[in-house]
Amino acid sequence: MKPDVSKRLLSLDLFRGLTIAAMIIVNNLGSGQEGARFRALVHSEWHGCTPADLIFPFFVFIVGVAAVFSLGHRAKNGGQDLIPVYRHIFSRTLKIFLLGLFVVFACGWLFQAICPPAETEQSIWSIFISPPTDTETGAFFYSLRTLRLPGVLQRLALVYLAVALLTLHSRWRPQALAAAALLLGYWGLMTLTGFGLEAGEDLGSLIDRVILGHDHLYLRNWDPEGLLSTLPAIATGLLGALTGHWLKSERTGRRKLMGLLLFGVIGIAAGKIWGLTFPINKNLWTSSFVLYTGGFALLFLGGLYYLFDLRKAAASWASPFIWLGTRPLLAYVGSQIMFLALYTLYVGNPWEHTNLLTLIHNALFGERWDILGETTWRDPRWPSLYWGLVCLSFWTLLAGPLPRWLAAIKPTARRLLASMRKVEYWGDEHLPGGYLGR
């Protein structure tokens, strides 16, 4: 009997949810002391790879896996069925790209209108177009002139577009060749053109400055989500697509698991070896980084596949991660906006203030937060992690129980409104004498 490959894999939902959870924690580490954070939760300064550096490529990887499960069966259909699919792909790409481009900018602009980072006489609408020129502090203002064009969601949108179109029109072999060509081509462009591999000195930074301009990059002279480094990111998505083909195949579950683990080990080893000449680097998204992180993604997914799809382990404890996995954009974008609000809004005035993030963090984890009196708990790295867990708990509840509660309330509210007698408040029987001049 052939295995059922159409059955939804719980491991994929958990993989996405756990990745989103880790992303929220890493992006929302608050601390009363600068740099007081666990090393594993902080990105590498340049070359190297920490556990935090695995999060973004994991999410790109799962985009490729999901594309195969959602679009793979369309490749066998005739062209007459593809118009709605094209519309869906391009619409989804545009929505994700614009979401990353404008949501944080719009919220940042509104927040700074409430609490400007520096004293200025320019109006909010003038700042929307261009940052003020009458400040002496050099404070950053959100404006169209300084709008950052690259970004996390923008990269995800471009990766999704490329992987979805390749999944729709090719089998796994052309996709594997495309991934190999992207990795080898990027290696050649970055190392054989005479440019360095330091921030702002690489070929990708030059391309970004020429095409996008200094004012639209993360640090003016370079951007970690630049144009050229999006090519190997597409290769990461294609590794996910190849994994999706493997999981959808008619092989037994045991063979699928062994393949995930074997290729995971091969990917890590190949990435480490390639890293000797082309260093593992998240900011540059080097080819060695693609193989190294892809190997860990395969091992992580393989572990989840073994536990929850083969062994059928109880997954009741994993429900919060499934909530996050089904609403990843809500959790990610919402947490970013919340962090921006807490960081931008303050108590005080433009020249002397304390932002809300510091006020809340000091109130929860100030000098007297260690009620047990244990010196080991006075390590300032723990409050940083706890704040990330607080943010994660908030967005997990918002992504899970809240929509269910609202869905349960809607029918009740609809029946309640329907049972109410329609009242014409402007009818003659409801207008007392003398009302409206009568």
pLDDT value of position 329:
85
Q: Which residues pair with 352 in a beta bridge?
A: 349
pLDDT value of position 328:
84
Assign 20 to helix, strand or coil.
helix
Is the confidence at residue 205, as pLDDT, over 80?
A: yes
Rounded to whole angstroms, the Cα distance separating 77 from 62 reads: 24
Is the confidence at residue 412, as pLDDT, over 80?
A: no
Assign 347 to helix, strand or coil.
strand
Is the confidence at residue 74, as pLDDT, over 70?
A: no
The percentage of the chain sitting over the pLDDT mark of 90, rounded to a whole number, equals: 38
DSSP secondary structure, 354-396, as one string: EEHHHHHHHHHHSTT--TT--GGGG-THHHHHHHHHHHHHHHH
Mean predicted confidence (pLDDT) in 52-69? 93
pLDDT value of position 377:
56
More confident residue, 316 or 307: 307
pLDDT value of position 429:
40
Mean pLDDT of the chain: 83
pLDDT tens profile 365-398: 766 565 555 545 566 777 788 888 888 988 888 8
Q: How far from 143 is each of 116, 132, 280, CA to CA, in Å?
A: 13, 9, 34
Mean predicted confidence (pLDDT) in 410-422? 54
**Is residue 277 classed exposed, middle or buried when 0-12, 13-18 and 19+ CB atoms within 10 A define those classes?**
exposed
Task: Name which of 48-57, 76-85, 295-304, 328-337 the model is least confident about.
Answer: 76-85
> Which range is most confident: 46-55, 122-131, 309-318?
46-55
Mean predicted confidence (pLDDT) in 103-118? 88
pLDDT value of position 3:
42
Which tokens belong to 240?
A: 């996910």
pLDDT value of position 158:
95
Is the confidence at residue 142, as pLDDT, over 60?
A: yes
Closest CA to 14 of 261, 328, 385: 328
More confident residue, 362 or 374: 362
The percentage of the chain sitting over the pLDDT mark of 70, rounded to a whole number, equals: 82
Mean predicted confidence (pLDDT) in 31-45? 75
